[in-house]
Amino acid sequence: MKENLNDLNPLSGLPGHFSVREALKKTLLDSSLLVVYIDLTDFKPYNEVYGFAAGDKAIQGLAKILKEAQEKLENVFAGHIGGDDFICVVQEENLEKLTKIIKDKFEKLLDTLYSPGDLGRKFIIGWSRSGERKRFPLMGICSAAFSPALRKLENDLEISKFAGYLKEAAKSMREDGGSVFLKPSEVDVIKIPLKTFLKDENATLIAKRTLIEAMGESGYAHCGRSLKNILDDDVNPYLLKSIIYAIGRLRYSPASEKLLKMLKSPNPHLRMRAAEALGNIGSSDFVGPLGEAIKDKNYYAAAAAIRALGEMGHPESLKYLKKLPEGASRDLPLLAAEARARLRDREAAHHLIEILENSASSRMKEEAAGALELIAMPAGAEAIARSALSEKSFKVKYSLAISFCRTAEQLEKNELAEFRDLTFELYFSVPNNIKIFFFKTLGLTGGERASKELIKHTSSRYKWERKEALEGIGLSGDKNTVGILKKSLKDYAPAVRAAGAKALGEVGGASSLADLRKILKDEDSTVRRSSARSIMQIMRSEYGV
């Protein structure tokens, strides 16, 4: 298959959008041609942790693998849709060979992309979308192969949409990293339209549920219409659970009436799923029905209703959450307190603090601390810290310590000053890999002691430790740290240079402008943006510009 030289992606060197569309159109007419959608999973956290240059290297590495496959196999088209998404078109008899080439060579590619430590651990530490540090698996490949002609798809747009469904299905089958390669035989049961697919006796229950839940993650409104139309059908209860879940993920409000009816279903699992879906859709019209669902005698259904009321965020939910039925089972009072915390009900803090002080359950302590993060009160932060100090389990202690930091970062500096000594006591009681979570809290706490501790970590061998320490210094406002911050602008790691530039904007003053202007030409765009923002910040504060 020939490629259009005028349509090559500048990063990967593979054919781009126009050539991909032309290749897909050919598959509509030839049932022997398979479309193979290839997605690089967990690429975003890798890109953020290792930097854009490393991210480009990963994309170029995968593109090189596809080019090598083209050289070894006949009639293989490889195209780059954009980002970390690729498309191949291959003869059916060559699919297994293509998959083996990609799988074998990608494993070797990973060895060149990650540090030995991350390869040994099989995960990296990055940042979630909510700004929290978390573990991410090493990158993998999710791919799905299918014949557009056999599926009677009408155009290249339908091929793209169907490939998107299969990509989500493949991702949902991925556990703890690794790669997933779906063969045509594994997705042949996925028919169009949906009703036909669900009635297909050759389709396994797992395959049906996988596709339905993938539709829920797709974000397409027309998927919601298809799912709503089969809610009344005589469908397997396990499938019905997946359908309700998918409708909730899509936030498809036209299905609300049917979901409200399911709150009265004799099946407790369906009542639970219906409550979850209504919580995702989030209309204030659901508050009353969900408030009544709290009284459900089934623990899981009642718990789902409580969580839904908290997630919806409507103030009128509080009157139901404050009045649980007498003798409410198990930890429903804790769930209600957590839901009230989501609604910023400060009265709930008293119950949560009581759990921290008196509960023997580690899980309940961790959940109570997580709820107190949402309310962010000085009393809550102090209770979390004291609970962490007295905790004997190292795992729980570290979890509570991190919750304390997240809570403390939301407080005012004068509020933090009230338990500065307690902060340092907890800080020195945790190992070095947990101390990094305290750096912003120490910066907000302020004082010479905090600055000395943060400065010590700016010379760490670990770039993320240096970065966090610099951000803490920026929050401290300590003018005596300007020299350290200027030095950080020469660090080899872009993330550290960017953090140093940002901190100079907070504490540097006019004397830092010349240093910041020098890195406006930095090779990394994040550093350049951080420097530009800091220059503007200093100009506004010093000169009123």
> Which residue, 440, 442, 407, 437, is CA-closest to 423?
442
Per-residue model confidence (pLDDT) at position 528: 93
Domain ranges within the chain, ordered by starting residue: 1-188, 346-437, 446-545
Q: How far is CA 303 from CA 306, 320, 368, 371, in A?
A: 5, 13, 16, 16
Q: Find out whether 519 and 486 touch, Cβ atoms under 8 Å.
A: no
**Confidence (pLDDT) at 342:** 86
Average pLDDT per consecutive 10 residues, the chain (545 residues; last block may be shorter): 66 89 88 89 88 91 94 90 91 91 92 87 77 81 84 78 74 68 60 60 74 74 78 79 90 91 92 94 92 90 92 89 73 86 87 87 88 90 93 90 92 86 93 90 90 93 92 91 93 93 90 92 91 92 77
Question: Chain centroid to CA 496: how far?
Answer: 23
33 token code pair:
């041609």
> In sequence order, what are the residues at sequence separation of 6 or more whose Cβ sits closer than 8 angstroms to the Cβ of residue 255?
224, 227, 228, 231, 247, 277
Range 1-188: architecture per CATH? 2-Layer Sandwich (3.30)
Q: Does domain 446-545 have CATH number 1.25.10.10?
A: yes
At 298, phi and psi to the nearest 5?
-85, 125
Query: Which residue shows structure tokens 């209504």?
Result: 278
Paired sense of beta strands 180-182 and 85-91, if any = unpaired
Q: Exposed, middle or buried, 191 (CB in 10 Å: 0-12/13-18/19+)?
A: middle
Half-sphere exposure of 544 (CA within 13 A, CB side): 0
pLDDT at 52: 86
Two structure tokens written together for 464 = 């993320």
Q: Any idea what DSSP says for residue 324? A: P
Counting DSSP H helices and E strands in the chain, the numbers are: 31, 7
Strands (E), 293-379: none
Q: How far apart are CA 139 and CA 323, in angstroms?
A: 47
Pairing of strands 140-146, 133-137: unpaired
3-class secondary structure for 216-240?
A: HHHCCHHHHHHHHHCCCCCCCHHHH
| pLDDT given for residue 192 in this prediction | 42
Query: Which residue type occupies 495?
Result: A
Tell me how crowded residue 201 is: count the other CB atoms within 10 A of its CB: 5
What Rg, from alpha-carbon coordinates, does the chain have?
27
Q: How far is CA 295 from CA 98, 303, 316, in A?
A: 56, 10, 17
Q: Which two tokens stand for residue 426?
A: 């907890």
Query: What are the beta bridge partners of residue 38?
Result: 86, 143
* Whether residue 378 has a cis bond before it, omega within 30° of 0: no
Amino acid at 76: V
CB contact set of 28 (below 8 Å; sequence gap of 6+): 148, 149, 153, 154, 155, 156, 159
How deeply is 364 buried, as exposed, middle or buried, from its count of CB atoms within 10 A (0-12, 13-18, 19+)?
middle
Sorted by sequence, the CB contacts under 8 Å of residue 156 that are 6+ apart come out as 21, 24, 25, 28
Cα 72 to Cα 383: distance, rounded to the nearest angstrom: 64
Query: Which strands sit side by side in the sheet containing 77-82, from one edge to the other?
Result: 77-82, 85-91, 33-41, 140-146, 180-182
What would the two tokens of residue 421 be? 């000594």
What single-letter amino acid sits at 115? S
Report yes or no: 81 and 40 within 8 Å, Cβ to Cβ.
no
Going by the DSSP 8-state scheme, the letter that residue 15 receives in this structure is B
Distance CA 383, CA 379 (A): 6
The predicted pLDDT at position 218 comes to 65
